[in-house]
Amino acid sequence: MPDVDLHALLALARNARARAYAPYSRYPVGAALLCASGKVYPGCNVENAAYPATICAERAALAAAVAAGERDFVAMAVVADAQRPVPPCGLCRQVLLELAPEMPLLLANLAGEERLTTPRELLPFGFEARDLSEAAAWRGRTPDA
Ligand code: THU
């Protein structure tokens, strides 16, 4: 992973955190996603009075990048004011696994603690597109499919 300044990316994630909309949890989270184009897409959590409508910082960054035409993800940094480097939620792990399974992912807190990982490490034995393909192939073999 040459030429990727993960700490510069983390600084951008901190900036994004400052823009979070988190009136319910009061737990702002920031993310910054570096793409192969060289562009960095920020993400922050955007909460809602209907709590499950909330989107996390990680998925916000990924959605913004995909909407801009990006498909090649180089690295992501995520930060929150947490007791440990912020652990992504299960939904975000699933979405990260789909879009960037091997991407270096720097998780951090404001105290300077960090954990460098990957989506695949965070979600071992996760459900993936190839599992659907196998299911489709299997259905094709059955007479009553
Ligand atoms: N949250 C994120 O945005 N990313 C994470 O990695 C952990 C959780 C948000 C969701 C919600 O707005 C708030 O943090 C508390 O769960």
Which CATH number characterizes residue 27's domain? 3.40.140.10
**Alpha carbons within 13 A on the beta-carbon side of 114:** 13
CA pseudo-torsion sign 11, 73, 106, 83:
positive
State how many domains the chain has. 1
Whether the CB of 25 sits within 6 Å of ligand 1: yes
In a domain, 145, yes or no: no
Separation of CA 142 and ligand 1 centre (Å): 43
CA 25/CA 63 separation, integer angstroms: 22
Instruction: Identify the domain containing residue 103 by its residue range.
Output: 6-139
pLDDT score for 143: 57
In a domain, 120, yes or no: yes
In a domain, 121, yes or no: yes
| pLDDT tens, residue order, the chain (145 aa) | 557 899 999 999 999 999 999 999 999 999 999 999 999 999 999 999 999 999 999 999 999 999 999 999 999 999 999 999 999 999 999 999 999 999 999 999 999 999 999 999 999 999 999 999 877 777 776 555 4
pLDDT score for 138: 75
pLDDT score for 135: 75
pLDDT score for 141: 67
This prediction has a pTM of 0.93
In a domain, 144, yes or no: no
In a domain, 125, yes or no: yes
Separation of CA 4 and ligand 1 centre (Å): 25
